[in-house]
Amino acid sequence: MKARKRLVTAGIAALLAVPALVLAASPPAQAANSLSMLGGDVSSLQRSNDLGVKYYDANGSQKNALDILKGAGMNYVRLRVWNNPASGYNNPTKVFSYAKEVKSRGMKLMIDLHYSDTWADPGNQWKPAAWSSHGIQQLQKDVYDYTYWICNTLKAQGTTPDSIQIGNEINVGMLWNDGYVSNSNFYNLGLLLKSGYNAVKACNSGTQVIIHTANSDSVEHLTWFYDGISNQGVKWDITGLSYYCFWHGSLSQLYSAVSTARSRYTRPVAVVETAYPFTTANADSQSNSNASGTCEGFDASWSSQATLFQYIQNTTRNAGGIGVFYWEPTWTAVQGNGWDPYNMNGTGDGWDNMAVFNWAGRVNPGIRWYA
């Protein structure tokens, strides 16, 4: 889970005979592919900045967190959007404002539309309150109008998004129960995804549409989903996957997922979420989201965090992918920036052991994004 309850599906055996770490350890001298989307989801950073959190580079100099990450190779920022969250953070107005800061630093922008007032993930895809009584016909219009408005507002202020996700980790659909995939029936979900795609392209034809699942755990789960939406005539530009080794399996499994998605659907593939702990300790009263600890071959340390992140990038590149995004690298434990949008001041941060900044705000000196 990412600071909230998560549905974890069982993996299948890796499809490659070579050991995972041998496969991923280093790219060939003449790599057949390169990573152009070197990203991070810093959706909590705006709140941290407002609370006065300080970030430091590897030399101990205080700097803007985006500048530190850009110095480590990050070129793409992902921001989630909730329709009307109780906290106000991650709502459209806040995202419109922070998009200006992202673009002012010469970084690309991915907008991650949850179509919810709170977390959307494999186990939670609830409609925003304003749409709660709407059926599938009205929801198609809701998705189109809302998506177009978000995109067009960003475009009008000079921060046109480079990519937009139509939903977040929609393993079994979105906007439940109308958009829930039951008995492999993708019809309603297909309608919603087509509305979102059409809205993005009406706003700006060059903005890439991403459809994102956490189905890197299993080639069977991955093909079930993307075959299902393909059969409904859904269009998209980039296949987005989440990969956390403690939930989704080995690097060989990641290689299988990326290479299968790339060849089967003939679209670029990006890992739009990944992370790894630098410690198993906890900085606040909120339980750590990663309760299962470390992954085989790695401990919880700055060194392992940096090394595994490099291996994930290498594996994605070698499998034909185009990007990797670290999820919430700046979300350190800070009073007032809790995980629950209904109670930000009263909850803690379950991600404090997986940020790339330690509890004193200093960046992991080994963290790098590699093209």
Nearest to 154 by CA among 165, 164, 141: 164
As a whole number of angstroms, the distance between CA 12 and CA 258 comes to 15
Catalytic residue status for 296: no
Pairing, β 55-56 against β 76-81: unpaired
Q: Cβ neighbours of residue 172 under 8 Å, at least 6 residues apart? A: 122, 125, 180, 181
Q: How long is the chain?
A: 371
Would you say 98 and 322 are in contact if contact means Cβ atoms under 8 Å apart? no
Q: How far is CA 334 from the centre of its chain?
A: 22
Place of tokens 């959706």: 43
As a whole number of angstroms, the distance between CA 111 and CA 209 comes to 10
Would you say 8 and 297 are in contact if contact means Cβ atoms under 8 Å apart? no
User: What are the tokens at 270?
Assistant: 């990006």
Q: Please tell me which residue in 101, 220, 273, 296 is annotated as part of the active site.
A: 273
Q: Cβ neighbours of residue 93 under 8 Å, at least 6 residues apart? A: none
Catalytic residue status for 169: yes
User: What are the tokens at 242?
Assistant: 């989440």
Q: Give whole-number Cα distances, 320 to 29, 31, 173, 193, 240, in Å.
A: 15, 10, 26, 25, 13
As a whole number of angstroms, the distance between CA 52 and CA 344 comes to 16
Percent helix, percent strand, percent coil in the chain, to nearest 5 = 35, 15, 50
Q: Please tell me which residue in 169, 220, 296, 328 is annotated as part of the active site.
A: 169
Pairing, β 62-63 against β 55-56: antiparallel
Q: Give whole-number Cα distances, 289 to 199, 246, 350, in Å.
A: 34, 11, 5
Catalytically active residues are 169, 273
